[in-house]
A and B are shown apart, each in its own frame.
Chain A
Amino acid sequence: MNSPQNIFSRQPQGSRSPSAEDPVARAASTREILHVDLDAFFASVEQMRDPSLKGKPVIVGGDPDGRGVVAAASYEARKFGIHSAMPTARAKRLCPHAVFVRGSHALYSEISSRFFEILETYTPLVEAMSLDEGYLDLTGCARLHGGPAEKTAVRIRHYIEQELGICASIGMGTNKLIAKIASGLAKPNGFLRVPPGEERNFLKPQLIGRIPGIGPKGGEQLNRLGIKTIGQLTMLPLEELEKNFGEWGRRLYFRSRGECDSPVQAREESAKSISRETTLEEDSLDRPYLIAMLSYLTEKAAAQLREEGLYARTVTLKLRFSDFKTITRSRTFKESASEDHILFEAISKLFAIAHMDRIPVRLVGVSLTGLTTERQTQLDLFQPTAPERWNRLYKGIDRLRSKYGFDTVLRANSKLARSTADLAVGRRRAKNRQERA
């Protein structure tokens, strides 16, 4: 059946042809999916930048005497039990001689884009999962690449190391789930291929925590049921998993069998949301400081929004208090926007009415959703050229920033945040992921 748009000359942008999603069509051929993951990305970049750090435990994150968390740890540091998201203070106790680096996100983004450029020379079907990992769909590329996909994978690894000076690990399998688990096992600096048909045997002895989506909490729940390995998980019937864990349980049932038909979605299929949040150096009740942080985060998010040629319909303010209670407040515009001043006005209004209860704020965040590639701007009778002028202004700001760095031009409000801000503004990009596993 035709979708209703097909009868028209102009197709709405961003609509995928129905066949690309058709699981039946996909199942007909065995897919060849790679998961490429840079090893200890931030730490490796630091070691590359300063070769004297090579072979040493390097920790990227906030001030070890402050309250930041570990953003990345080199493999040398991991031997001491340090892992990302651990408070830096604790990391310092575990490994007092580690080198602590504040991190330079501009450099990470730059290397990340070079990383994806390399991946995209092999196939346009590259799905970025974060700065340092992505999926490639190499199905049917054997002739193009002059050999089977596993040979290509080895070449990709060498090429990345040669070009970026950073090691990558690659997992290969018939779907994203298997590829991801395989790359995790291949680390560091390795390659692991799971041949078609071997998925269940491959998964059987693995611990359940290897399955993406099973975190410490979920793992604990399953452990209590006596389930430690993925093989044990497959013993549970679907009904029981659904009864105990709902939708999540249903997903576990299929994942434990190595089944996943989620397609690799190329980069153009844009993010569903763009958000920026940061844990403050110190919990704060200082409204001018918080608003400054929000202003900076808004500018950061809006800059990415414009870079991707998108407009946001909805802005959301996120506040997490020192008691970990988290609130979000949203506002939806009549017309979607990408301009700092419009987005920030909404955020500051939301902040003004957010109930704070005199509890210090631990984390602030801004997220932009309802993203569209097109927008319809209602022109004003009395200021018909206003949108044009704003457009020119933001184009200019974006140009200056790309040339001289982000902080070259800032809103006055953001200035205060920059004098004290933690550099490690968390960058999170929720991808439009359709997991039908």
Chain B
Amino acid sequence: MEIKIGSDTFLKGVQKVQGVVENKGAMPILSHLLISAGGDGITLMATDLEIGIRGFYPAKVIKEGAVTLNARKLFDILKELPVKEVRLVKEENDWVTLTCGKSRFRLPGLPAADYPKLPEYSETCLLEFTGSQLRDMIKKTVFAISPDETRQALNGLLLEVEQGKVNLVGTDGHRLALIKRPAGKSNGASADPNGYLLPKKVLSELMKSVGEDDATYKFSVKDNQLAFIQDQEVIISRKVDGKFPNYRQVIPGDCTLQVKVNKEDLAHALKRVALLADEKSKMVRFEIRSGNLILISDNTELGAAREEMAIDYDGDEVTIGLNARYVLDVLSAVEGDQVVLNLKDENHSCLITADSDADYLSIVMPMRL
């Protein structure tokens, strides 16, 4: 195998795939990525056996062939190289020589034949997203998923098709975020009514590779394999097992109190008051009174903080304890100047909506005071 490729193109490709590589796994080859040269370019591929990622990049192929290299080392080398042409040659015993200008590196490769195959995936498009839409949807829901890896079903986002819309839902059991967007060109009718659980790692890889552009991303499903395909790049993942909880039944429909509040003002005040909230629970008390909202953290060893802000409200008085981090996560995701806190009482969930986007909502469960 012998190729010539621009160092910037090569770096971009390696950067996109190296995120899935396991650096400390039991199988050494999984810390490698696969480079296959053929036709008018190279295919880069990496997998951790759960998810796989593959991309094609134009290059001058002098001699076809394939080899695997340590992804991290290759990435570190490419990062330090000037923007110039790189020459990559596979020699005997899978040693690889990389030259660029006056720099020369020799890297021990592993046989390409030993590299795990990517699972089969479908090219049949089930749903279609634009890059910016996909990015926006993930960004506005991914913060709500659980970091607890023992709760698999809550460890990813639920993607489902419902009445011409595509929904993305995340929850950790204490809060939830749901976004609905019109489904583009789709075969929604053939979608699984239970939806699909997208693993966290797929989401972080998508966030890395999806640009703000209007490139088209196709979502496809085959057996247990989900795939996001964009032109010559594909991310494949095993479907997450487990049943996503019935989120529809926890979306409150009986919130009698609506508190309109300026988003930026609330975010700044909450950040300040949360500085003295209990380190673990992060609870801040929201005292909602006619015309003003008082944020309080006290009863902690750290001291106490309090801040008052004017709000557009003249309903019943209510005091509710909320985890400041949960609320701040929502405030940084939602667009527009105003948010609405929809409440019933101090024991029921707080539904956060924005007039600017009727198809995006978040729910935060209170803390019992």
Contact = CB atoms under 8 A, between A and B. Distances in A.
The answer to whether A and B interact is yes
Interface of A: 4-5, 7-8, 10, 12-13, 334-335, 374-382, 384, 387
Contacts of A5: 298, 304
Given A8-B306, A376-B368, 4 more contacts: A4-B303, A376-B278, A376-B321, A384-B349
A377 B298 contact: no
Given A4-B303, A8-B298, A12-B298, A334 B365 contact: no
Given A13-B299, A335-B281, A379 B365 contact: yes
B174 A378 contact: yes
A334 B278 CA distance: 10
B369 A376 contact: yes
Given A8-B296, A8-B304, A12-B299, A380 B174 contact: yes
A135 to B, nearest CB: 27
A376 B283 contact: yes
Contact of B280 (A4, A335, A382): A335
B30 interface: no
A381 to B, nearest CB: 5
Contacts, number: 66
Interface string B327-369: 0000000000000000000011100000000000001011111
A335 B279 CA distance: 11
A256 to B, nearest CB: 35
Given A380-B173, A381-B176, A374 B365 contact: no
B242 interface: no
A381 B174 contact: yes
B365 A380 contact: yes
Contacts of B175: 381
The majority secondary structure among interface residues of chain A is loop
B113 interface: no
Q: Of residues A7, A375, A377, A382, which shows the largest number of chain B Cβ atoms within 10 Å of its Cβ?
A: A382
Nearest to A380: B173
Interface residues of B, number: 30
Nearest to B175: A381
Contacts of B250: 381-382
A-B pairs, top 9 by smallest CB distance, nearest first, are A376-B367, A377-B368, A12-B299, A379-B365, A376-B283, A376-B281, A381-B250, A382-B245, A378-B367
A104 B237 CA distance: 64
B246 to A, nearest CB: 8
A380 B171 CA distance: 11
25 contacts: A4-B303, A4-B304, A5-B298, A8-B296, A8-B306, A10-B296, A10-B298, A12-B299, A12-B300, A334-B281, A375-B368, A376-B321, A376-B368, A377-B367, A378-B174, A378-B365, A379-B368, A380-B173, A381-B174, A381-B176, A381-B245, A381-B363, A382-B246, A382-B250, A384-B349
B47 interface: no
Interface string B149-177: 00000000000000000000001011110
B323 A378 contact: yes
A377 B365 CA distance: 10
B143 to A, nearest CB: 15
Contacts of A377: 367-368
A202 to B, nearest CB: 40
A381 B173 contact: yes
Contacts of A384: 347-349, 365
A10 B306 CA distance: 11
Interface in B147-205: 171, 173-176
Contacts of B174: 378-381
A374 B245 CA distance: 31
A205 B299 CA distance: 49
A320 to B, nearest CB: 31
A7 to B, nearest CB: 8
Contacts of A4: 303-304
Contacts of A13: 299
A307 B175 CA distance: 33
A11 to B, nearest CB: 8
Nearest to A11: B298
Contact of A378 (B176, B281, B300, B347): B281
Given A379-B368, A384-B365, A374 B176 contact: no
Given A335-B280, A387-B368, A381 B349 contact: yes
